[in-house]
Amino acid sequence: MLSHISRLAALAAVLAMAGCGPKSTDETTTDTKTMTDPLARPFALLAADAPAAEKRPEEIEQHGITRVDNYAWLRDEGWQEVLRDPAELDDDIRVHLDAENTFYEAATGDLEDLREQLFEEMRGRIKEDDSSVPAKDGDYAYAVRFREGGEYPIYVRTPRDGGDETILYDGDFEGEGEDFFRIAAVDHSPNHELIAYGVDRLGSEYYDIRIRTIASGEEYEETISSTDGSAVWAADSKSFYYVERDDNQRPKRVKHHVVGTDPADDILVYEEPDDSYFLGVGKSQSGEYILIGVGKGTSSEYRYLPADAAPGTEPVLIAPRLEDELYYVEHHGDHFYIHTNADDAVDFKIVRAPIENPDRENWEDWLGHESGTYISGFVPFKDRLIRLERENALPRIVVTDYEQEDSYEIDFDEAAYYLGLSAGYEYDTDTLRFTYESPSTPEQTFDFDLDTRERVLRKTQEVPSGHDPELYVVERIFITADDGAEVPVTVLRLKSTPVDGTAPLLLYGYGSYGSTIQAWFSTSILSLVDRGVIYATAHIRGGAAKGRQWYLDGKLEKKKNSFSDFANAAEELQERGYGRKGETVIYGGSAGGLLVGATLNLRPDLFGGAVAAVPFVDVITTISDADLPLTPPEWVEWGDPINDPEAYATIAAYSPYDNIRDDVEYPPLLATGGLTDYRVTYWEPAKWVARMREEASGGPFFLKMNMEAGHAGSAARFERMKERTHDYAFALKIFGLTEQAPVEHDAG
């Protein structure tokens, strides 16, 4: 219901294509087990029992090069239909995936008690009947809460100054009996009389939008299908804008729906003809404009129309798209304020342009570019503009008036931490809401008076089973990459965990799309750290921890920097006593799964195990298939191997599926997937594990396929925790810590 950075944050994220890697919300002295013997093969006796996928060779020729794919048949020819109806999956493929799941369960059955223990720990660290701090809007305050034992969020509101609560949408009631159920958004109308809500019941991220009257709970008849799940209300509360997805799961059209009418009659506002661009729609923080944005990793473009525009009004282009230029738009007064990297502003600047003529020729710098200071976003309020910056991987909030006569910073002193802006609903306000947390400090929500600079703590995340931040050490260290670059690494450990090479190390990474893994507080990670595991996050190139240039230095022809940075981080951490060579577990998901796969091929000797969640590992085949949903927009991230032989050679040289080595021993591997995942299709981890079994030594190699979910797994909070326990129990078995008791905390 609320978003960080601004009400257009979701739109900007779509256009920036940040992939995966969002924050997870599940989430004395300990004797650390010293690993005196090389473990690294705790599942070895089971490898012979693994299912062997049938080999059906298929030749693929590109640029005069022929490669053979023995497992291409695992991709269902009717994958689009499977996204909408998983029952359509080919029988042969289903039999194989079921066999993989059966093997995994049999091979890890001895971990069931540990998984249950981990689940109880994770559950004990969350306040089950938690609720957000209410956000005021007009006469009401809106919030999201959970009930004790409930799986799904409940969207509620109360009168602004107190009174009885009204339930707007009860996720537990609505999702009861569903195999999969995810709520995209519950958006209330400006007059506070209606809600529009988006729900996905398959995991494929095709959301149905429906409309409900708040006072009576009465549903309107229409269902708007194949959307992104969000409704952007027009000013009159009688209609809204939404994004329609096509049969290839691409956001293609912005449409305008009038409440109470047939969706077949919805007005087409804008259609994006270029499959390489994502499309989104949002509303300015001021509430005065509807903003339609298209974008990919290197280019973006915006259109606008008044929020009170009549249906059929043509949106106005702000500035035509240019390659290698990004811009994101907000509004204040007579100007659009634009966050852009134009004019070689690598770390971005803010310009403004008059609404009546906002083309580039009229852009004027409002805040100039400063190399090394990365402007990640901003929120315009009536009297002040709030921006979020990052320098050398640490964030800060900067408050400025529009004349830039009064400017000041809000920052903190821990070695690593996260700051988040919550824009809320109101534009004319003197209160800024922000959140603060670190790997050892639970999230705190503050209301900050922009005039007096006083902060009021509105909420501290509760850990009912107990949490003592003083038991932990948070460190920000820098390791040296092959080319001399200084790579930040965030480390969380117990103070009692030694840094002498005897403690186990779990190293997490992502490193793509310019997405930065923040220094969040995670209740789930504590189940590892409290057993003496050192948990480290490597902020490698390909992310934007040190600014946009850090991202540019880890993409396209420089992508291998991401993998070498990760391997360098593992090796140097081990040399410094954070873990031991051959006994580190690496962990990543989606593009982070690519990181895991490529780094395993690069330096398998460094690791004792690997967890690759929904891993993007069949890179050259996927990025050569223009029919897949994400392929055209991702050519700017990886290269276009269809038309560019050099891009083909670069990708083919690191694609994990195509570079499995037969001259080394690989550690045990757990790969996961989701049948209705359109982002990283289920056949990527399925093919990878099958080929690893055929060509690689070591292992064993496991595939755990979720047959009832997509990219993010279950949307039910306790089921999501249970899924996480599989990853952690696997790592703890590698470490030999399945019997290790966690450190005790005083109950909260």
Catalytic residue numbers read 590, 677, 711
Contacts of 348 (CB under 8 A, 6+ apart): 339, 340, 341, 369, 374, 375, 376, 548
> Cα 249–256–181 angle (5° rounding)?
45
In 3-state terms, what secondary structure has residue 302?
strand
Q: How far apart are CA 560 and CA 639, in angstroms?
A: 13
Closest CA to 712 of 670, 669, 679, 684: 679
Q: What's the per-residue H, E or C state across 108-139?
A: CHHHHHHHHHHHHHHHHCCCCCCECCCEEECC
Closest CA to 597 of 666, 695, 528: 666
Cis ω before 700 (30° cut-off from 0): yes
Contacts of 413 (CB under 8 A, 6+ apart): none
Give all strands of the β-sheet with 407-410 in edge-to-edge order.
374-380, 384-391, 394-401, 407-410
The beta-carbon contacts of 483-486 under 8 Å, at least 24 apart in sequence, are 483/561, 485/541, 485/553, 485/561, 485/565
The neighbouring-strand residues paired with 365 are 351
The structure tokens listed for 627 are 């029919």
CB contact burial 255-267 (16+ within 10 A = b; e otherwise): bbbbbeeebeebe
The neighbouring-strand residues paired with 254 are 243, 270
Contacts of 471 (CB under 8 A, 6+ apart): 28, 494, 495, 496, 743, 745
The structure tokens listed for 565 are 């940075």
Place of tokens 């030594």: 697
Give all strands of the β-sheet with 584-589 in edge-to-edge order.
472-480, 486-494, 534-538, 505-508, 584-589, 607-613, 669-674, 701-706
In 3-state terms, what secondary structure has residue 278?
strand
Number of H helices, E strands in the chain: 14, 40
Residues listed for the chain? 748
The neighbouring-strand residues paired with 69 are 58
Give all strands of the β-sheet with 444-449 in edge-to-edge order.
418-422, 431-437, 444-449, 455-460
The structure tokens listed for 550 are 């850090």
